[in-house]
Amino acid sequence: MNCRICNTTLKRFLDLGWQPIANKFLKADNLAKERFYHLEMFFCPECYTVQIGQCPKKEDIFNDEYAFFSSTSEYMKLHFKKLADEIKEGKMLPRGGFIVEIGSNDGTFLKNFYGDNHLGVEPSTNVCLDAMNDGVICLNKFFNEEIADRIIDIYGKADVIVTTNCFPHMIERRSVLKGIRKLMKPSGIWINEEAYLQSIMEKCSYDQFYNEHVYFSSFASFKKVMKMFGMSLWRARLIPVHGGSIRFYTTHEDIAPSNDLLMHDFERTENLNVFHRFEHFAEVVKMKRKRFLNRMFALNGNAVGYGATAKSTTVLNYCKVGTHLIKRIYDTTPIKQGKLSPGMHIPIVPYYEFERDNPKDVVLFAWNHANEIHEKGKGIRWILPI
């Protein structure tokens, strides 16, 4: 298999087995239609981008039944408000300027720009409609070069482009990057936030690998890929959300080079250009599976889960953990409740039953929201799935 970005032969480092679409929660009468995809992880020795092998069609993932709503976490709402403040106070968005968010989900971020010229681009119709009903201007499309041309025709070029936890999802990376470069004004900036490959390696959080996330970037890989597409990585910051994220600030390449000292820190501390790091990671993943299964067997089917995350799909299907080991998973998202988890078919129940049931041993699948969730129950033995 060749790299989707630079066409170099990829090196495989991890096999997570056959996995269903990570966010496709099922009604009990719909199980026969479920499809599985081989989840293998690859490393590109040329542009250093980590990517998955087999991918479902994008329309089968992002449609009118997309199950993740950005607004489900109060902490994330605050996080997006702070990003909006940084853009406004840092004068990145001039008076009368134009901001575009690609992958705008239910509008959680763009609601901070009500009075400004803004546009969300979001392919999943249900979340997009939520944003529009709340007064956010949106285009219900998959972003690529052609859509960038259309946006430019109608609205003009953007001063600020934002992608948070969306760029890794867009399989047509070459077309997307060409589109972003076209859409960005000569003085414009693109701010992209995503799960940081270095944090995934350090925590061995292999549950971040699922078929919605096609690509994973290190600082080195992002910098290299930007250069290939005529852009410059100008600044990067570590962000403490989703288990360790990175925020990349990118401009056109003819803008003055960065003198940001932190950039050198990333270059010094990362060592993700070498394949053996990934081979070692794969060994640790196998150990983690063993440890998790031992814990589950010891509880003899009396455990429950909290947070029906996309990440849980990877762990449950890789470890083959079903209702014999985890009875149910509690979650706040209405569209997930009353359905079954992808692949292993564990019932998803409303979070308010959590207090009533008062479970003792709870697998925290939404471990990235631990601070927010720990407040919801006392005397619980929380178990990490990874």
Task: Note the residues at the interface with ligand DWN (CB under 6 A).
Answer: 68, 72-73, 165, 212, 242, 307-311, 331-333, 351, 366, 368-369, 372-373
Q: How far is the CB of 194 from ligand DWN (least distance, A)?
A: 8
Q: How far is the CB of 74 from ligand DWN (least distance, A)?
A: 7
Q: Specify the residue, 97 or 243, whose C-beta has the smaller distance to ligand DWN.
A: 243
Please provide the size of the chain in residues.
386
The tally of CA atoms less than 13 A away on the side-chain side of residue 298 is 8
Q: Specify the residue, 113 or 351, whose C-beta has the smaller distance to ligand DWN.
A: 351
Phi, psi of 279 (to 5 degrees): -65, -40
Q: How far is the CB of 334 from ligand DWN (least distance, A)?
A: 10
Q: Specify the residue, 205 or 251, whose C-beta has the smaller distance to ligand DWN.
A: 205
Query: DSSP string of 255-289?
Result: SPPP--HHHHHHHHH---SSHHHHHHHHHHHHHHH
| CA distance readout (Å), 196 to 205, 209, 285, 361 | 11, 12, 17, 30
Q: Specify the residue, 169 or 181, whose C-beta has the smaller distance to ligand DWN.
A: 169
Residue with tokens 């992958």: 103
Positive or negative: CA dihedral 85, 126, 342, 355: positive
Residue with tokens 């052609």: 146
Q: How far is the CB of 275 from ligand DWN (least distance, A)?
A: 26
Phi-psi region for residue 320, left (φ > 0), alpha (ψ -120 to 50) or beta? Answer: left
Q: Specify the residue, 247 or 369, whose C-beta has the smaller distance to ligand DWN.
A: 369
Q: Specify the residue, 59 or 153, whose C-beta has the smaller distance to ligand DWN.
A: 59
3 state DSSP class of 16: strand
**Using an 8 Å Cβ cutoff, are 133 and 125 in contact?**
no
What is the DSSP secondary structure assignment for residue 346, as one 8-state letter? Answer: P
Q: How far is the CB of 212 from ligand DWN (least distance, A)?
A: 4
In b/e form, how buried is each residue of 238-250, taking b as 16+ CB within 10 angstroms? ebebbbbbbbbbb
Query: DSSP string of 96-142?
Result: T-EEEEES-TTSTTGGGGTTSEEEEE-S-HHHHHHHHHTT--EE-S-
Q: How far is the CB of 206 from ligand DWN (least distance, A)?
A: 13
Q: How far is the CB of 373 from ligand DWN (least distance, A)?
A: 5
Residue 55: name the closest of 69, 38, 72, 41 by CA: 38
Q: How far is the CB of 252 from ligand DWN (least distance, A)?
A: 27
Task: Quote the CA–CA distance of 189 and 187 in Å, as a whole number.
Answer: 7
Q: Specify the residue, 105 or 221, whose C-beta has the smaller distance to ligand DWN.
A: 105
Q: How far is the CB of 197 from ligand DWN (least distance, A)?
A: 14
Q: Specify the residue, 94 or 334, whose C-beta has the smaller distance to ligand DWN.
A: 334
Q: Specify the residue, 118 or 311, whose C-beta has the smaller distance to ligand DWN.
A: 311
Residue 104: name the closest of 65, 46, 73, 143 by CA: 143
